A and B are shown apart, each in its own frame.
Chain A
Amino acid sequence: MPDASTEMRTTTCYMCACRCGIRVHLRNGEVRYIEGNPDHPLNKGVICAKGGSGIMKQYSPARLTKPLRRKPGSERGANEFEEISWEETFDILEKRLSHLRATDPKKFALFTGRDQMQALTGLFARQFGTPNYAAHGGFCSVNMAAGMIYTIGGSFWEFGGPDLERAKVFYMIGTAEDHHSNPLKSALGDFKRNGGRFVAINPVRSGYAAIADEWIPIKPGTDGALILAIIREIIALGLYDRDFLARYTNSGQLVNQDEASNEFGMMLRNPEGDVVNPLRPHNFYWWDRLTNQPVPDHTKGADPTLYGSFSMPDGTPVKPAFQLLKERVADCTPEWAAEITGIDAATIKRIAHEMGITARDQKIELPIPWTDWWGEEHETVTGNPVAFHAMRGLAAHSNGFQTIRSLAILMSLLGTIDRPGGFRHKAPYPRAIPPNARPPKGPEGVQPNTPLGGAPLGWPETPDDLFVDAEGQPVRIDKAFSWEHPLSAHGLMHNVITNAWRGDPYPIDTLLLFMANMAWNSSMNTSQVRDMLVDKNADGGYKIPFIVVCDAFQSETTAFADLILPDTTYLERHDCMSMLDRPISEFDGPVDAVRIPVVSPKGECKPFQEVIIELAGRLKLPAFTTAEGARKFKGYPDFVINYETAPGSGIGFLAGWRGKEGDKAMRGEPNPNQWEMYEKNGCFFQYHLPPSSQYMRNWNKEYMEWAQQAGLRRDNDPIVIHIYSELLQGFRLAAEGKRAGKQPPDELRERISTHFDPLPFWSPQLEDADTDLKKFPLNALTQRPMAMYHSWDSQNAWLRQIHTYNHMYVNSRTAEEAGIADGGWMWAESKWGKVRCMCRYSEAVEPGTVWTWNAIGKASGAWNLTKDANESQQGFLLNHLISEELSPRANGKRHSNSDPITGQAAWYDVRVRIYPAEAGEPEQSYPQFPPMKPVPGMKQRKMGWQAWFAGRKETK
């Protein structure tokens, strides 16, 4: 089109959570081409299948374009709506929310499916005064965050990752394809090209495991046993990095072994030792092997003994933490693990040896002088080139926290934490163990017309940090930070609807869901959750009285809204990948990024951030209101520029181009031209740390001081790795009645005492104990395909051609034994429910596991697909088989089907049996739901054929 007007604008992709830099080419105002930004540090020009299909998302007929109200007189769930204006919408919300805020703020619950916007949504919730706020992390991978952060002060996720540039061997355990996906794919490509060895440990060989040099199939949920056996082998052969363990972990710290003492299992404190940080004292003991006596930890010239049993001068029996780890793994032999994992003992030994020998014999030495926190100067940065990566595969089990702690400990044993070739942190991590944000400590933290007395989400350090009432009962609707799930750092979004419906711990009034498909793939036990959403009290009112859904697309969930707020797409909005939230940092320093609109919003779509700013202004939330009581911010872009975490703190949502002139980084006064400066730089800001601050950051003095100055950390004390977790022991002592302060309800004491083990252990998934494994012998898993992001992309005309429906993948032999034909219809049944689906034989799945792609199956008519679309007729949702709660206990109450430590939803624990569908059954997936129809404001879907040619101003 020679006469077309074309332009190119940069922004940040949001077709998944990876957040690549993109360049959007427009022709006559229409999106012609979205390419990876070659100058962007995250993706360096590459882009994935989803990113390349942004056009079909932008122009999707599933888009909502008008604020909608449930038609008066129609039933919730009937999907009948009428258009209203934004003014009316805000009036409704303002009236309802200001009443709740003035009476009982916790009756307002805000849960967001998408995170990465939590700096704002969390601030809003906190300012509103409701504790009932979280994003989807609870059913995503909070175990990964918590398990590692409580051990090494950082995690995979956006917070750190494998240094594949320098690693020699790489172990990927479980499915981990999604977060940071493009950079990981690129790194894997380079790693393999450079001759690196890639081992995939996974029940299924798909995704990245496809290109692994070795695939080790493992039974789901048994990774912990494997890792403990590897740890044992590493210890048995002396393949651990002793220097690293002695100096940078708590391996040498002495642990009280006096069983009669209330301090049993706690680190011995040295009253004369250097406290370092009174908020988090570091006054421990080592048993110096050179002088054979207890000394303050990190005494110059001392070397801690790692094994043994000693008596302190006062007679207190003590052991070094590492001795306790050694005792813990003594029985975790490869043969023991072989029985559990299905991996033969010889293989377990072999990979342990591989890891240990590589770490020991292929040391990397970089000529980078640095100084550790205790003042010792090091001439080089050394690294052991063994890298790991894991995500949901380990996390989404009820034993995930301890499994992931095992992994972090193994990585520490090999001396690979924040060192070249191993695991590298990304700013703002490493952070203290645990990070400093704390939830309120009790119901008194929730007061009318008052901001919440703490962070809605945080990191409990001791039982006293729990958010419980005097009886030890939860204050949050999702029971996060209660004794049921003490370390639930990301909340338990997966239990919100069930709890609110049951009124346990209390009923709520208004539930605001942002971009969360809670009536479909984001809820376990989907069918019943849908019933709960429409269930009524005896008085005829809904059990959840008011549901507001904000989304850019019509989903299964919008049908259950009383009010629908049409969100914009990522190409139509301002956004921040903020250092206060989850930035896109690189190993060598902080990076944050923004989105800047490249096209104008469709119809009356309004970015959710603008809705939040508008509501905050109307509700006069303090942080959003001037001293005079006027609105402080004109809108979201204005807010981002001018908001500071504290008056004059110089820390805001964006770290780049701060200061009036835009000449300051990380910290500085608000800069009125900050957005323009980001835009000029391709919508990201990158800060390169000097080489001496790029490694060993848990203990790197120069980095610590800089991080504190830059506002990444409150303190600058060292972050010593918790091989032994005294923090967990604190909860166990409370459960055993040995600790003053908050006490768990009696019925939970045993559960807490069992799971809050200061040393990693493996136990079967909770659901196993609850299930007749003879009847339901198989594990059932879902994984996310690389070309689809959750349920987002079935409305995408290009992506849905790649994954139009899903099969259940069954090991060929398993399927044959069950009498199920390849391609035939079958049933998968758990104790909670059943689905009818199509079977696909596979040799790439271990015989005890069946699996399918996540969220390809859709409800009929949802996402503006026709009611006979394959997604609903042949596609299916595994969620129908999974329960959000475990079986009722003796008292009739039910625990969340989650990790008892973190509340991580145990999606991957479900057990099923399979059998063929009978002849004559409909060749259609089960269950089915009444078809949804489009709502007002939605574009007519194109029937027949469609051909996109940008710039013609009409789709042919």
Chain B
Amino acid sequence: MRPAFSVLFLTTLIGAGQGLFLALFMCELLAPASVSSNFLAGGSAIILVLCSLGLIASFFHLGHPERAWRSAMMWRTSWLSREVIALPAFIAVDFAYGLAHWTGFGHTLLIGTVGVVMAVVLFICTAMIYAAIKVLKEWSHPLTLVNFTLLGITSGMTLAAAYAGFFAPDLTVPLSQAAFVLTVLALLMRGASLWRNARLTPASTLQSAIGIRHPRIVQKAQGAMGGSYNTREYFHGKSIKFVRGVIVVMILGVFVLPLVLVLTLPLLAFVLQYIGLLAERWYFFAEAKHPQNLYYQGNS
């Protein structure tokens, strides 16, 4: 698949936002003494910014953003539709949570609990958009759900550690440690998915694609020589070298460097981890081999 940049930003930004929310709420729940309302309100504002940026980015993915409201219609069947509902809902709850802290309105644990549920729901919705596409074996697996969630939480936790470094120094160490643990966990899970995907046998073959049983079938024409939607949308078109570079950036950025830095320089760790996550998401798309590509192998 061709990585869609709007989607890369959307999923990484809101993932970090959701993760941050979970981290903040955990702080409020487990160490209420170490966090101030302002700290939590500020954190909510960061989440608001991240999620709003994500939302804005998502509009760039649409052919007709002015009709975006329509996308909430099919929540009964479409995970995308559910995400479209879940994201604003989460943003709203986050806003309420921050507002409640900022204004001293109270009921923050209740609102926060709703927020946690919304964050989890949003993780599920976002991940299921991909995991529900059965034809993409790389995506259609529980690991997709695990990784979207875990990577979101991890980046949010790293961000929380960095944030705490400025405004809640007491929490820096435990948050950093949590981020460290989560990063290790994420490494294991993302590694598992990479390992799995590298060993996948495609469900479809050229033989099943055109219904002819012969070991040697070679495409000679696709019916269009100047390219088509099918050649643009489903192929990343980058060299193997480039893809390898992306994998290196992913491994260093998401995992290795944050593990080295998070305990000492959590902000840098977050920045690097975020960049790494963009690479991770890029590769998430790029490694997915769409069965339609079988019909677009050669031309003349």
Contact = CB atoms under 8 A, between A and B. Distances in A.
A and B touch in the complex (CB under 8 A): yes
Contact of B225 (A803, A809, A841, A842): A803
B134 interface: no
Interface in B212-227: 216, 218, 220, 223-226
A807 B300 contact: yes
- Give the interface SS of chain B, mostly helix, strand, loop or mixed: loop
Contact of B223 (A802, A807, A870): A802
A843 interface: yes
Contacts of B225: 801-805, 870
A840 B219 CA distance: 11
Contacts of B218: 841, 843
A840 B224 contact: no
Nearest to A843: B218
Interface string B208-249: 000000001010100111100000000000000000000000
A802 B226 CA distance: 8
A840 B226 contact: no
Contact of A801 (B216, B220, B226, B300): B226
A840 B223 contact: no
Nearest to A807: B300
B26 to A, nearest CB: 52
Contacts of A840: 220, 300
A802 B224 contact: yes
Contacts of B224: 801-802
A116 B244 CA distance: 61
Contacts of A807: 300
B219 to A, nearest CB: 11
A858 to B, nearest CB: 14
Contacts of A842: 220
A435 B224 CA distance: 46
A803 B218 CA distance: 19
B220 to A, nearest CB: 7
Interface in A767-813: 801-807, 809
Interface string B276-300: 0000000000000000000000001
Contacts of B226: 801, 804, 870
Interface in A642-696: none
Contacts of A841: 218
Contacts of B223: 802
Interface residues of B, number: 8
Nearest to B225: A804
A108 B150 CA distance: 85
A733 B226 CA distance: 59
B228 to A, nearest CB: 9
A174 B223 CA distance: 24
A46 B86 CA distance: 53
B215 to A, nearest CB: 13
B6 to A, nearest CB: 22
Contacts of A843: 216, 218
A843 B300 CA distance: 14
A843 B224 CA distance: 21
A804 B220 CA distance: 14
B289 to A, nearest CB: 21
A792 B225 CA distance: 18
A843 B215 CA distance: 14
A805 B300 CA distance: 8
A866 to B, nearest CB: 13
Interface string B252-295: 00000000000000000000000000000000000000000000
A802 to B, nearest CB: 7
B235 to A, nearest CB: 16
B140 to A, nearest CB: 33
Contacts of A806: 300
Interface in A912-926: none
A851 to B, nearest CB: 11
B206 to A, nearest CB: 15
Contacts of A801: 224-226
Nearest to B221: A802
A806 B299 CA distance: 10
A806 B225 CA distance: 10
Contacts of A870: 225-226
A840 B225 CA distance: 14
Contacts of A804: 225-226
Nearest to A800: B226
A322 B22 CA distance: 99
B295 to A, nearest CB: 16
A804 B225 CA distance: 6
A807 B224 CA distance: 14
A807 B225 CA distance: 11
Interface string A808-851: 01000000000000000000000000000000111100000000
Interface in A703-761: none
Interface in B187-218: 216, 218
Nearest to A842: B220
A805 B225 CA distance: 8
B226 to A, nearest CB: 5
A805 B299 CA distance: 10
A923 to B, nearest CB: 16
A183 to B, nearest CB: 25
Interface string A866-879: 00001000000000
B211 to A, nearest CB: 16
Contacts of B220: 840, 842
Nearest to A805: B225
Best-surrounded residue of B220, B223, B224 (most CB of chain A within 10 A): B220
Contacts of A802: 223-225
B216 to A, nearest CB: 8
Nearest to B228: A801
Best-surrounded residue of B216, B218, B223, B300 (most CB of chain A within 10 A): B300
A801 B220 CA distance: 15
Nearest to A806: B300
A801 B216 CA distance: 27
A801 B224 CA distance: 5
A347 B223 CA distance: 35
A77 B126 CA distance: 63
B2 to A, nearest CB: 20
Nearest to A803: B225
A843 B225 CA distance: 20
A52 to B, nearest CB: 14
Nearest to A809: B300
A908 B40 CA distance: 82
A636 B285 CA distance: 64
B237 to A, nearest CB: 15
A401 B57 CA distance: 70
Contacts of B300: 806-807, 809, 840
A807 B218 CA distance: 16
A807 B300 CA distance: 6
A418 B180 CA distance: 89
Contacts of A805: 225
B98 to A, nearest CB: 46
A843 B214 CA distance: 14
B222 to A, nearest CB: 10
A312 B179 CA distance: 115
A870 B300 CA distance: 12
A622 to B, nearest CB: 53
A843 B226 CA distance: 24
B229 to A, nearest CB: 13
Given A807-B300, A842-B220, 11 more contacts: A801-B225, A801-B226, A802-B223, A802-B225, A803-B225, A804-B225, A805-B225, A809-B300, A840-B220, A841-B218, A843-B218
21 contacts: A801-B224, A801-B225, A801-B226, A802-B223, A802-B224, A802-B225, A803-B225, A804-B225, A804-B226, A805-B225, A806-B300, A807-B300, A809-B300, A840-B220, A840-B300, A841-B218, A842-B220, A843-B216, A843-B218, A870-B225, A870-B226
The 10 closest A-B pairs by CB, nearest first: A804-B225, A840-B300, A807-B300, A804-B226, A801-B224, A801-B226, A805-B225, A802-B223, A803-B225, A802-B224
Interface of A: 801-807, 809, 840-843, 870
